[in-house]
Amino acid sequence: MVVAAQSGQAKRLFDTCPKWDVVSWTALIVSYGQHGSLAEAESVFESACAHLDPACWNAMIVIFVQNGHLAKARGLFERMATRDSITWNAMVSAHAQNGHLDVAVEFLHGMCLEGRKLNPESFRCILVACSYGGNVGEAWKYFVSLRGDHAINPSKDHYCCMVDTLGRAGRLSEAQELICAMPYIADVEWASLLASCATYKDDYRAKQAANVLFKLQPEISAPYVTLSNVYCG
């Protein structure tokens, strides 16, 4: 299917198939979307898939998002008679990844009101958006709610996002404490802290972070360069 879409033969394949089900239609839509044929994907969806189950709708929403059409994705979302957790999570992730934290949070709350299950990726995207937006308070709230409200054990990615958020905000002591409390082996997190120490000229913590990285990755020169920049700056 993907090869067919790439070579422009998807329509020919469609004509030769004796019977199409939701899986086939979804695969065709995804194939068009993956190769930038948004108009074709949209045409197939509207003409043949809109009456099918949420899988086709979810596929079309993801395609809109991947092509930067958030308004179209939201319009399709609002047309859906039935939305599952995949639908909601797709909208949360899409808006968070594009820096629309307020909208992402609206969808997050909507999921909770409908009793839908949030997934770890949605929270990761929310935390990334908080990091870039400098929203430390919001980041902490969602990080804590992972386990407390949603029974999701924070992953290494969640910790990394939180460390990055604290570091960007200059809260280096808290970032270091969180790294030390992680139930995972920290590596990227120490590098993130080192970069933040360089930004905020914290020589003491920069040296600590660099020393850990020297032991973990002695063959990598980046920590040496960053540390030298801290002292030279």
**DSSP secondary structure letters along 122-176:** HHHHHHHHHHHHT-HHHHHHHHHHHHHHH-----HHHHHHHHHHHHHTT-HHHHH
**Average model confidence (pLDDT) across the chain:** 87
- In tens, the pLDDT along 110-140 reads 988 988 888 899 899 999 989 988 999 999 9
- pLDDT, mean of residues 32-36: 87
pLDDT of residue 28: 84
40-54, 80-94, 142-156, 178-192: the lowest-pLDDT one: 40-54
- pLDDT, mean of residues 160-165: 97
C-alpha–C-alpha distance, residues 108 and 48, integer Å = 30
1-10, 47-56, 76-85: the lowest-pLDDT one: 1-10
**Among the residues of the chain, which ranges form H helices?**
2-6, 10-16, 22-34, 38-44, 54-66, 70-79, 85-97, 101-113, 120-133, 136-150, 156-168, 172-181, 188-200, 203-216, 222-232
pLDDT of residue 154: 98
Check residues 188 and 232 and name the one with the higher pLDDT.
188
Q: Which two tokens stand for residue 208?
A: 């600590």
Q: Which two tokens stand for residue 213?
A: 């990285």
From the CB of residue 5, how many other CB atoms can be counted at a distance below 10 Å?
Answer: 24
pLDDT of residue 186: 95
Q: How confident is the model at residue 6 (pLDDT cuts 50, 70, 90)?
A: very low
C-alpha–C-alpha distance, residues 163 and 192, integer Å = 7
- How far CA 70 is from CA of 6, 109, 206, in Å, comes to 24, 19, 40
What pTM was computed for the model? 0.77
- pLDDT, mean of residues 57-67: 91
pLDDT of residue 9: 59
Q: How confident is the model at residue 21 (pLDDT cuts 50, 70, 90)?
A: confident
Task: Find tokens 């599952």 and name the residue.
Answer: 84
pLDDT of residue 7 exceeding 70: no
- 153-167 in b/e form (b: 16+ CB < 10 A) is ebeebbbbbbbbbbb
16-20, 151-155, 180-184, 195-199: the lowest-pLDDT one: 16-20
- How far CA 184 is from CA of 168, 179, 181, 206, 210, in Å, comes to 22, 9, 9, 21, 18
Q: Which two tokens stand for residue 191?
A: 């590098």
pLDDT of residue 18: 55
101-105, 171-175, 180-184, 190-194: the lowest-pLDDT one: 101-105
